[in-house]
Amino acid sequence: MNQFKTILKFEYFGYVRTKAFIITTVLFFVIVAAASSLPMFINAFNSIRGDADISAASDDEPSMNALIASPSAIFTDEVLSAYLPGYMWTRADNIDNAWEAIESGDYDLALRIDGLNYTAYERTTSLITQGSQHAINFMIKDVYQREFLDGRGFAADEIDHVLHSHPIGEIIVVGTDYTQTFWIGYVMMILMFFAMILYGQFVSTSVVVEKSSKAMELLITSAKPFQLMMGKVLGVGMAGLTQFGAILLAAFVFIRLNQASWNDFNPAVAAIMEMSMSGSLILLALLFFLFSFFSYAFVLAGFACTASRMEELQTIALIPTLIAVATFYVAIAGSMMPDAAYVKICSFIPMLSPMLMFMRICIADVPIAEIIAACAINAAAIFAFAFVCSRIYKVGVMLYGKKPRVKDILRYAFKS
Amino acid sequence: MRIELEGINKSFGSNHVLKDLGFSAKSGKAFGLLGRNGSGKTTTIRIIMGIFPQDSGRVSINGGNYKDNRNTIGYLPEERGLYPKRVIIDQMVYFGELRGMKSGAAKKRAEMLLEKLEATEYLNRKLDTLSKGNQQKIQLAISLITDPDILILDEPFSGLDPVNAGLLKSLVQDMVTAGKLVIFCSHQMASVEELCDDICIIEKGRIVLSGELAKIKKTYPRNRILIAPESTDFADVQRRLQASPDIRDISTGIEIAKKGCVITLKNELDKLRLFTAVNGMNVSIDTFQVMEPTLEEIFIEKAGGGNEPV
């Protein structure tokens, strides 16, 4: 136990005391804090621009030209300007040459309406400007309904009442509010994936440095390989998670501080921040996050043990990286059908389990026994990965300078 | 302290590396484990250190195994290295703590060792800022951090300049004087000969010679005589010795060496006849000395003068 503590301390402080670690942590903290305060900066920028600009912009003078062809007289200039502001309308018998007219730049929109049917040609410069369909649909439907009701003798205020009455109410959720926890599961899934990919490499790099610097032989005569591997992965992993924690803290604190600005800027982000997590969900989130990170870190460390030089690491780390990516995609697919048999099975398979089980917990009723079973499987898997990893690590001494073959690795690992 | 190996066998796949190997070494001596490249020296040491197990046979350290005596053995591996980006004192304390020392004691011991190895100035430097030879000194200091009763050095002289090699030799001599056991694996026969009391030569995984070096030397024929003349014209002396019918009669050859001429006798009992013949030739001599075989000569004879360099 003392050796384990010594190794953990050495590995942890070996990382967090380096200049590179301190600089990147501070840099990430500042970038994330700035990004989390973005709406505040935008508001400040807008207020500096002054009222003149805003009033100029709000005049809303039509700046684009549009062509309309319709046998119906309902679509008057007033109607068109009300539903599709920003266009200067020109009437035509047909829009047969609309393509050329728009391509040449004479018009930005050409619209032919025949009853409830319509065809439109639209000039577009980006996805943002490509947005007339909804407005056209609304205009034709609204005008059609008004005409219909008007024909049956309804007064204008009655028509408005019928067409624009909206129910107001709320649903009080009894039990888990899955619309909230779904987003928590989704955010956690992304965090797990990023932690694995970003900080898993801390562990694998550390193993390869030890091998390439040839410190291994001295180490395994000074401590048990299992303790070395546990201390290394937990120590380096904790260093990575320290940085990750600092980044998350920056995001959390600065989004909270700018909550009002976020409400205007992006209500979805503000809504996620306003969600409340129960104590048990926080505990499970933390537990499955650690399961996810450390199972991946041990597997990655095991693969890294077979590399003698840093250049070999990228190729060797490809398999665990693909596993992490596959896990992420299975979890995304699983979030759409949490009760599917394959999702349930995968939520008990080591490496896949942390993401999938937590996602299941967030979007469906999972029996407590299944959660306990998943926790036990993950803990046992991490222990098993650490054991196998330490065997491969010890074998690494015999594989200096040789290209590792899976057959040799396994033979030496389980014979020694 | 005593290390004993009995009937050790080790194979890697179809390659039978150690064949029924056995020897013992005890405290107060320096022990040389010698052999050509690939003869099995490092494998033997790795088995002693518990890095991997033997297929059969027994290794005991004071009657127990390596794991029970981990902290009593200092080890300088052939494949050596430390953490290039870590501060030296931190690494030394780390290895001390791994071997059961308290942090404060490990730090004190590290400072003392670095002073002894004339490397105090590197205490707070990162390893990769040091030359290869100085890095080796740090590794040696780490192998001594627990003040071990047994020190195993695998190729300790490689990369050391003569001054640092001298430092290492004096350190080893101090340990032996203090009643500790030092085991050497080296190709540098002159250094081993200077330091070692006992040797063991391995060839293709088998022991071909083992025992006390002085006794081994005595078993070799003492038929080579060094004649160091007062004159420095060794070629002239060689010509005159070769011209003597008496000397031609009892010798197989006369060679010029560093200090004079070396005459190889057909029979080592003819020393007196040679002395009389040289006296009669009116050659004034400083030294008439029976030469012992060098360790290198013994090694070449036992380990074979094959194609591989020794």
Both tokens assigned to B225: 């005589």
Per residue in B80-129, pLDDT tens?
A: 788 988 999 999 999 999 998 999 999 999 999 999 888 999 999 999 99
Backbone angles phi, psi at A326, to 5 degrees: -60, -40
Region A61-163: CATH code: 3.40.190
R_g of chain B computed on alpha carbons: 24
Give the number of other Cβ atoms within 10 Å of residue A168's Cβ.
5
Q: Are B254 and B262 in contact (CB under 8 A)?
A: yes
SS3 of A87, please?
A: strand
Residue B207: left (phi > 0), alpha (psi -120 to 50), or beta?
A: beta
Residue from A210, A198, A208, A205 nearest A240 by CA: A198
pLDDT of residue A94: 85
Give the number of other Cβ atoms within 10 Å of residue A378's Cβ.
24
Minimal-distance CA residue of chain A relative to B42: A398
Between β-strands B181-185 and B30-35, what pairing exists: parallel, antiparallel or unpaired?
parallel
Burial class of residue A353 (count of CB atoms within 10 Å of its CB; 0-12, 13-18, 19+): buried
Query: Which of A213, A228, A391 is the best mutation test for B, with the most CBs of B within 10 A?
Result: A213
d(CA A305, CA A393): 5
Backbone angles phi, psi at B5, to 5 degrees: -120, 130
Both tokens assigned to A343: 């999702």
pLDDT of residue B98: 92
Per residue in A99-125, pLDDT tens?
A: 888 888 888 889 999 988 999 988 776
| Structural domain boundaries in chain A | 8-37+176-415, 61-163
| Structural domain boundaries in chain B | 2-218, 221-291
Chain A residues lying within 8 Å of B49, measured CB to CB: 221
pTM of structure: 0.74
- Give residue A46's pLDDT band: very low, low, confident or very high (50, 70, 90): confident
Minimal-distance CA residue of chain B relative to A411: B13
- At B202, which helix (H) or strand (E)? strand B198-203
**Is B221-291 in the same CATH topology as B2-218?**
no
Per residue in A167-190, pLDDT tens?
A: 888 878 777 677 777 888 888 899
Between β-strands A64-69 and A87-91, what pairing exists: parallel, antiparallel or unpaired?
parallel
Of the partner residues A6, A14, A397, the one whose CB lies closest to the CB of residue B86: A14
pLDDT of residue B200: 92
- Give residue A86's pLDDT band: very low, low, confident or very high (50, 70, 90): confident
**What angle do helix axes B132-143 and B88-98 make, rounded to 10 degrees?**
30
**Does B84 sit within 8 Å of A213, measured CB to CB?**
yes
Residue from A326, A305, A27 nearest A196 by CA: A326
d(CA A63, CA A89): 11
Domain B2-218 has CATH 3.20.20.70: no
ipTM above 0.85, yes or no: no
pLDDT of residue A412: 64
Between β-strands B56-61 and B2-12, what pairing exists: parallel, antiparallel or unpaired?
antiparallel
Chain A residues lying within 8 Å of B95, measured CB to CB: 218, 222
**What are the distances in angstroms from CA A186 to CA A18, A178, A195, A334, B45?**
33, 12, 14, 11, 54
Percent of chain B with pLDDT over 70: 98
Interface residue B98 vs chain A (CB under 8 A) = yes
Q: Are A69 and A112 in contact (CB under 8 A)?
A: yes
d(CA A36, CA A50): 24
Of the partner residues B12, B81, B85, the one whose CB lies closest to the CB of residue A214: B81
Average confidence score pLDDT of chain B: 88
Average pLDDT of the residues in B55-75: 85
Residue from A336, A325, A230 nearest A3 by CA: A230
Both tokens assigned to A250: 């920056």
- Give residue A331's pLDDT band: very low, low, confident or very high (50, 70, 90): confident
d(CA A107, CA A103): 8
Chain B residues lying within 8 Å of A214, measured CB to CB: 77, 79-81
Residue from B33, B99, B30, B102 nearest B66 by CA: B99
pLDDT of residue B30: 92
Region B221-291: CATH code: 3.30.70.980
